[in-house]
Amino acid sequence: MGWPVGHSLSPRLHGYWLAEHGIDGAYVPLPVRPEQFERAFRALPVLGFRGANVTLPHKEAALALADSASPEARRIGAANTLVVDGQGRIEARNADAFGFIENLKEGAPFWRAKDCPAVVVGAGGASRALLVALADAGVPEIRLVNRNASRAEGLATSLGGPIEVVDWEDRARALENAGLLVNATTQGMVGQPPLDLALDRLPPEAVVNDIVYVPLETPLLAAARRRGNPVVDGLGMLLHQARLGFAAWFGIEPKVTPALRTYVLRQP
């Protein structure tokens, strides 16, 4: 459920798993305008849905409308996964933090959360889940960089933990001795300008991750790769977060495999 939602790769992803496990079901895109979201949300149990994923701009509204919510969804302040129980009640969950960490584990298995500071660029909705994930993983210092400093300060205050807000003008210096750099903005996405961040001060062994996956290699990842930094693209976060929803809806823990990545990326 999103607006717009036609670009989503989730129908291909879940369709692959449904076919792989022989499940008689369908995962369909539901384009829902913001003013119609509550009506669509309430209709899910009536229409026989086991659940749904929620993307922009509905994540906060989904949390507010749900009958119950997981502790992680409440902490992040948004939902991306809905689970409908046998009585028609809807539980809001958030699998983004899980997907983010699992993607890092897969793409950079040598990365150790407790070894070095992490730098997160962006203080939007996606950033909340990433900050929670990094804090829970044990990162000793999280440097949050955002053009709007007051938004970043508000985010750091609401989440607590080892988050230090860095002024946009000091973003290059924030990279010193960092072990991880994450772009949590839309900068670098198709149709958007690249992230304005020079990597000169980033240690060569630091992992660079971009949650954008269209294109798969953003200008940030390309620049990091040229200087020898290990890079992790954003597709894995989408794939791994989907595991929790599929397991909740169908009782089967699906696997993320190279064949799945290839299928999801291939044009239908």
* Binding residue positions: 8-10, 55, 80, 96, 122-126, 211, 213, 234, 241
**What residues act catalytically?**
59
Q: Are 80 and 96 in contact (CB under 8 A)?
A: yes
DSSP string, the chain: -BSS-TT-SHHHHHHHHHHHTT--------B--GGGHHHHHHHHHHTT-SEEE--TT-HHHHHHH-SEE-HHHHHHT--SEEEE-TTS-EEEE--HHHHHHHHHHHH-TT--TTTS-EEEE--SHHHHHHHHHHHHHT-S-EEEE-SSHHHHHHHHHHH-SSEEEE-GGGTTGGGTT-SEEEE-SSTTSTTSPPP----TTS-TT-EEEES--SSSS-HHHHHHHHTT--EE-SHHHHHHHHHHHHHHHHS------HHHHHHHHS--
The binding site for NADP(+) comprises 122-126, 211, 234
Which distant-in-sequence residues (6+ apart) come within 8 Å of 47 by Cβ? none
Distance between CA atoms of residues 54 and 83, nearest Å = 11
The binding site for shikimate comprises 8-10, 55, 80, 96, 213, 241
